[in-house]
Chain A
Amino acid sequence: MLRYSAKQLLNMALTLFAVSFLVFALNELSPGDVARKILGPYASESQVDHLTVQMGLDRPAIVRYFEYMGKALTGDFGDSIVFRMPVADLMFDRLGNTLLLAAISFAVIVPLSVVLGVLAGMRERGWFDRTISVFSSMCASIPEFAMGVFLLGIFVVWLGWLPGTSPLRSDSGWAIWMQFVLPVLVVTFYDAGYLIAMVRSSMVEVMRQPYIRTALLKGMSFNRVVSRHALRNALITPFTVILLQLNYLVSGLVVVETLFAYPGFGRMMLEAALAKDIAVIEAGTLIAVSVTMLTQLFGDLGYMALDPRIRV
């Protein structure tokens, strides 16, 4: 297992290296001149030339790439062009905010989906199953922005119970925890809808297995069959899916963050990408890729714990 982990980590380092190069190349190929973007459309050409030389952008892309990587390896990720601050500070701040939102959402989504999914799946086509299925497919099919606007209309404009944006500042007239309610709710509805369906179908499949019928026929109580024999097996497939949600929760919250003006990682990446802010794009992509690969590694390790037959 140690060997496997080490091998995966080495794999990850290589992937990150490749991704960093790809991102750099793509950014280089996309149209628009960085110095011109910094100075704005009205600056004189001589200013643009001056800044281009000053920033070293007149040198070959490959030289700049290795220089960037050299610095990045020592922990210096450069400065953001859009936000005019060190990328490390910016990332720390924005990623922290997103991780907080992700953690709270995750803590709500996982228990909720597992409980509802299992309850629905253990009695296939029962009234509870039908209700939950309709509910979950409805949630999963409403896009985040539509769900967000819908909830905003009810809780902010109509009832006035909750704050409409989440700047995460206590001086905006609302307690910070209240600023989390709507974003978490939107993410939960959207994401749990999908997860519940996953858990349910996995549960349904397990409940159809001959060994479950055997257990029931030999007189074991239904509850005992579910908790002892079905649950663990039913959770293996959803486990991967649950871990994959971490990717979504870290780098896929762009819509929710924009809608609620939440100072997070997704919104930052969007603005950086629009402005060709390479230092931010590189660092952000590497973080997103790391999260994906680490969750895969944990997923593999988790499998072993859930299913002793799996060896890596």
Chain B
Amino acid sequence: MTEKLHPIIEKAGREFADGKLERREFLRLAVLLGVAAPAAYSMVGLAAPALAQGAPKKGGIVRIGMRVQDISSPHTYSWIESANSARQVLDYLTVTGIDNVTRPSLVEKWEASPDLKTWTLHLRKDVTWRKGRKFTADDAVWNLKRVLDDKTGSSVVGLLKGFILTEYDGGEKDAKGAPRKSVKLWDANAIQKVDDFTIKLNGNSANLSIPESLFHYPLLICSPEDGGKFGVGSDGTGAFELVEHEIGKRSVFAATKKAYWGGGPYIDRYEIIDLGDDAAAQVSALASKQVDMIYQGAISTLPTVEKLPHVQVNSVATGYTAVARTHPIKPFDDKRVRQALRYATDNDAVLKGALRGLGKPGEHHHVAPVHPEYADIGYLKQDIAKAKALLAEAGYPNGIDVTIDARPQPDWELLAVQIMVEQWKEAGIRCKINVMPSAQYWANWTKVPFGFTTWAHRPLGTMILGLAYRTGAAWNEANWSNAEFDKLLTEAEGYLDVEKRRAVMAKLERIMLDDGPAVVPVWRAVFNYSDKKIKGYKIHPSIYIDAKDMWIDA
């Protein structure tokens, strides 16, 4: 390495040598701070994982069974499925791989200032848009400014708010007419174009996970000429072009005629077939080879799929979960009631009953053992007596009557809810289940007072806490607000040293257990199905699917 290393890497390197820093975490750190992934792998004495399974062959079609949604506004996507459509055409600035390591994409190389407040992003110089224009810093700056603009309504805001945004009173009102704080870039120069291929992000506070945040799924880099809209024929820097899109039916992507800057694609066409929400239809389509892949598997279909000789089950351990979260309204406005809910839950039983044991029991604080800064603060065991006592203390000696909203797909979610509701009954929490179809649930997920919501895997504990529990974040579905939590979270985001972060994380986890709005019953392994002829595909913990790497071994 001839280039100067970030001072933190030198320090982390010593920690790694002293055995204080785990190999995986050092690897992730080194890469985040600008060391190229292969070099970082060699620094820790590991071989970089290879996706290659023989030499890729050209040609063929891959058809995947997945919902075909309205995908016209990439920066406000709220579904992984939407992002999995548009990402074939549009690229991200960075890419976090299945190994949790972030690699260059449109950003070729990045550097962080010693205080982690300033990030310099060097863009690739060899990328052109499909319609011929050169990809430059102006394109990237336009996209970054757009996703961070309050008016766009992108969830990237929640992720980068502490780093680069500031709150102000812009006279905005929420739906009920109450004043709402607006956010804007904290400084006019916060997103700075240095030259045609260099950008500086000048943050307000330290943030380690900038390269990972740049891969947040709505942060797709659109052509400014398309004005943030996406559809058939939209320009892109990616390997495919969207040639057909009929919501509820199918989407067709054709490989671009020009060579793709990132290698590939190998297949000629990638098709998304909408099979509806019905798990049985998905397996039927797979069994009769009408699709080659299913976006996500269901527990109920697993036994059948395992019997199909041409299909393989792909699975990976994750921080994927679903949480039963409450709004701060009666009876959940009292934190003792929320605690009672946690004490009344037996996570092991939920894991066994709802997921056939595929995963790990949750610990109610939404930070998973797969997260590097996870702090083991002990496992909260089911304690019915304690739950009852807490309810009585809160003024509900006869228990409470509540209703939880849940959706029928994926099937394990409803099963988990049913199991928990039975457990809660013992503690005097009499809960009705209101099942609503997925589409209806997602239209109301932040509004229902008590609901069971899926949360996708994120590489860092701080990322998930920032998205879901920071005061005012777009996805803070529990409307939860805890000033100390917010302060500690911003502090944790600024620590590079994983041990320091872990120390703060332990405090955050305790706040979640004491005051938090959620029951986090399980960590699940995610899985999906693909035809054995598809090579070059490995399941990503977030089930991000890139067709450009796939090839067909006929």
Contacts and interface: CB of A to CB of B under 8 A. Distances in A.
B281 A41 contact: no
A141 interface: no
B70 A164 contact: no
Interface size band for A: 35 or more
A84 B444 CA distance: 21
Interface residues of B, number: 51
A89 to B, nearest CB: 11
B175 A261 contact: no
A44 B150 contact: yes
B247 A84 contact: yes
Given A84-B247, A274-B440, A40 B284 contact: no
B439 A165 contact: no
Contacts of A274: 437, 439-440
A39 B152 CA distance: 11
Given A46-B172, A84-B247, A274-B439, A162 B288 contact: yes
Nearest to A164: B284
B70 A39 contact: no
Given A47-B153, A267-B276, A41 B78 contact: yes
A275 B153 contact: no
A212 interface: no
B442 interface: yes
Interface stretch (A131-139, A149-157, A294-302): A149-157
Contact of A44 (B153, B283, B439, B443): B153
Contact of B281 (A47, A48, A172, A261): A261
Contact of B76 (A40, A148, A258, A263): A40
B77 to A, nearest CB: 8
A311 to B, nearest CB: 49
Contacts of A40: 76, 78
B173 A45 contact: yes
A258 B281 contact: yes
Nearest to A152: B284
A96 interface: no
B247 A156 contact: no
A157 B281 contact: no
A249 to B, nearest CB: 20
A101 to B, nearest CB: 15
Contacts of A76: none
Contact of A164 (B150, B250, B285): B285
A258 B278 contact: yes
Contacts of A83: 246-248
Contacts of A37: 443
A173 B287 CA distance: 12
Contacts of A33: 175
B443 A156 contact: no
A260 B288 CA distance: 12
Interface of A: 32-33, 36-37, 39-48, 82-85, 145, 148-149, 152-153, 156-157, 160, 162-165, 167, 172-174, 258-261, 263, 267-268, 271, 274-275
10 contacts: A41-B445, A41-B446, A153-B304, A164-B281, A258-B276, A261-B275, A261-B281, A261-B285, A274-B437, A274-B440
